[in-house]
Structure 1
Amino acid sequence: MDFKKIIIIVVIFLIFFLGLLYFLKQDSTANQSKQSLSPEEQMTMERISPLGTGEGFWDEAISPFREDKTKPYLELLDDLKTGKINFVWEVWALRRKCKAEYTPDQCNATILAYIDAEYESPDKEKVKDLFISYFRYEEEYRKWEQPTDLSFVELYEKIKAKRRDVLNDKADLIFGMEESQVSFLEGTQNFIKQSANLPAEQRVKQFEDLKKKTYGTYYDSLVSREDKFDHYQVEMSLRDKEFNAITDPKEKEKYLNRIEIKYFGKERAGSLAEERSKESKFKESISKYELKEKDFLRENANLSAAEKEKKLKELRIQFLGSEEEADAYIRRKNIEEAGK
């Protein structure tokens, strides 16, 4: 055997052997330490720390959190104030990383241990205080007997007051974004009624102004998370009166296309317009077929049922373009009839 290979094997063996000795020594020392305790001392230790001394426990428990980069306190503060993050969602995202068998208190303690391990002072104390305050609020909220005879708006005002009673100025940090959204929903109901007779462009602008004013510093973050289609539908509902007043189909399509380009871009808006055109032509084909069907049945009343169906199927294929579409038409009609 090559001399160099022998040397390498020997070195590897020595490293392995020394490592094994070290491990055995550590294990022996731990056992001796435990055995040196009296039965009374062991019982006391187990009662104080039912999960053990904690040595190694938290390292394992907080490991699922370590994949996320911790935010400095000031950055966390800014993200809360601007709505980039929702504190309650963040707490529950962390909790979902806890083991299923953990109690709520164990999970909360694990989160706090993670903060201890990952943050340096003074950020550590500030971030921990935020989480501890929220945990305390949850506990108080669970104990709180809510009034049952209030409307949602009245009850929510009570909830907001409770938050400030427990959290003081932290209530705005933790719940400010949610409260602005609820406030906007309330404001929207009033706006829809009061703005019914405004010109569409003015109505849309005022609606957006209301949103900006109500959301405040959260506006950019909240709008960035809005579903484009939902936003599009809201604008179309605000324009409903003006849109329905357009009688020329071509002008109506232009109007719709302009709004769709605003939300979905030119390419997607073009695709939507094409789909509508196909749908419109298909409906027109169905109308033509149904007129032809009536004429045929009136003029051929003496034909047998089989002959009628054979001829009608030919007409459906002729008007609707394919046997598949013809069969689909019959299925839809059967479903409609069954639903009556």
Structure 2
Amino acid sequence: MPVPIPGNPLGYTLVYAIESPRGPVLIDAGWNHPDAWEALSDGFAALGIDVADVYGVVVTHFHPDHAGLAGQVREVSGAWIAMHEADAAIVTLMRGLADDEHRDFQAEMLRRAGAEGLDVSVAVAERPVPPAQPDRTLRDGDIVDVPGRGLRAIHTPGHTPGHLCLRLEDRLFTGDHVLPDITPHVGIYPYDRTDVDPLGDFLKSLEKVAEQGPLTALPAHEWIFPDVGARALQIRHHHEERLHTLATLLTSSGEPLTIWEIAAMMTWNRAWDDLSPMLRGLAAGEAAAHLRTLEARGEIRRVSGVDPVRFQALDS
């Protein structure tokens, strides 16, 4: 069921319903908006089902276009909500964070990245309402409570720390992990963290999906497509090329660069000057994730004792 995301170029989230003797179980739920709720309700009605019949909602990851309506479905139906334990912890954190704390966090993150003079109020998207706290948590390999079905959770971190793909026989619900045409955003927040490597995790997760073989992919955006394994390897190759290009860029610069300077020099789907402040912030997050992977591999280094943080090639 395509559930609209108002004002977003992605257009919609594909919500899936799996039949079970206790009632349908949803894979994701869509954005928390009246138009989205109407589309979800109408989609069920077209199948002769009422939202009140839903038994459970499995959320592939905590982002609002996936988890946003899960709470409303639970209110109407009494359904359980499940997501990976890592994303459930983030939801707990989000629900306890005040708006001014979120704004201050973003401002300091941008400053340390070298985004001098940037107006944080326009660089940060309007904060969506945090999703509902899940009732259940999942781990890699868990069998989800869908009676009569062997729906298995596969932990695929990268896009979020707790992103899940879900295998049902010869099909794989891929969430945002593997999409047929675009690649998901993989960023690091705050930009200068050293304790995580989300892109490294994402690349390993792509290999994990490729090992599942040529399953039919049921993604959360765009369209259903065959051979998820081949597409996973294609996305991995894309990021390896970006990593090589970024390492070459740092070598040729001859001097340490801030995350913001590096992001401005990278290739995006539009020229840097044409990106809105918010999109520049997302691009910086993705640049930071690539820098962190190169650092973890020992191909570049972080300059110590400087603020904002800077990176350089090892031989610089």
TM-score normalised to the size of structure 2?
0.26
TM-score normalised to the size of structure 1?
0.25
Structure number with higher strand proportion? 2
Determine which structure has greater relative contact order: mean sequence separation of CA pairs < 8 Å that are 6+ residues apart, divided by chain length: 2
Structure number with higher helix proportion? 1
The structure with more radius of gyration: 1
